Amino acid sequence: MILVAGSANLDFVVRAHHIPGPGETVLGRSFETFPGGKGANQAVACARAGGAATRFLAAMGEDAFADPIEASLRQAKVDLSIVRIPNLPTGTAFICVSDDAENAITVAPGANLSLGREHLPDLAGVTHLLMQLEIPLSTVTAYSNAARQQGVAVVLNAAPVQELPARLLELIDILVLNEGELASLSGTGASVAKSLERIAVPTVVVTLGARGCCARHDGQFLLQPGFDVDPVDTTAAGDSFCGSLVAALSTGADMPQALRRACAAGALACTRLGAQTSIPDAAEVSDFLNCQPPANPATISALQTYCGLPSATL
């Protein structure tokens, strides 16, 4: 069983030609709402794309915004542990998606910031605890400490990025971040490889967008090239990656296998609009991978060079 503790938001999505700059007004073409939030997205990815037994812990308001989020989670067969927070709204996110599939996101946390250490359920039967940083850092630290004491692997997606205390880093088994988050946490403008070496966590995984990902695991660097798709919306691609990665590890995959499956899930999520609505199911991920040719040596070499690695193990 995977326990995902994190945020739940209702996403308000506008498609437009481009993302507006400061002071700019852009006319959008369409508007839709989708269930979202990094925590909820990753819980859906664990259960749907990863096929793993998953429980989701979140704080939500007593409002209508919570209803579609809960319905989406139940549809993905996620077991729910919802904490109701009176007088606070369920979290919301306002997203602009451009024609080139990039996005800009503003989050109003609402009830998410009320998830506290007292809300952690019994961890019996839990193999992995997956969290993000859209809930209070004190809560993340308390949950990590409880998991460590009970032998549960702690996985943290350091998004949105903020400074992480050394005590928390000591409790984390796997840290997942993107390039911007890696640069911020490592405090260096060095290569991807050197930045990964500066973070004192046993396993650190950095997603590299369409290029794929790179990990420092058990003292070795692992590379997984990305997969070619026609992107529509990159929202929840990272969440699909995180959830699929943890699900694969929880069901016995080794790290290279888990990275490959996570990259595939993230790529497929880019081909659809929305957050949870874009996350593929396990059969789709498997079928997609079965159709992929072996990694091109030139692609691997280019990824090695990009990451600042003279050699790597796939």
- Tell me the catalytic residues: 239
Do residues 6 and 37 lie in contact, with contact meaning Cβ atoms separated by under 8 Å? yes
Amino acid letter, 27: L
Distance CA 25, CA 37 (A): 25
CA distance 12 to 105: 10
- The pair of structure tokens assigned to 216 is 């420092």
Phi, psi for 307 (deg, rounded to 5) = -85, -5
Strands 79-85 and 174-178: unpaired
Look at the block and give the residue holding tokens 């507006």: 20
Is residue 134 within 8 A of residue 57, CB to CB? The reply is no
Name residue, tokens 């995977």: 2
List all residues 6 or more positions away from 301 whose beta carbon is below 8 Å from its beta carbon. Answer: none
Strands 174-178 and 153-157: parallel
Q: With the CA atoms of 28, 32, 33 and 35 taken in that order, what torsion angle do they form, in degrees rounded to the nearest 10?
A: -110
| 271 CB burial (10 A radius; 0-12, 13-18, 19+) | middle
Q: How far apart are the first and last CA of the chain?
A: 28
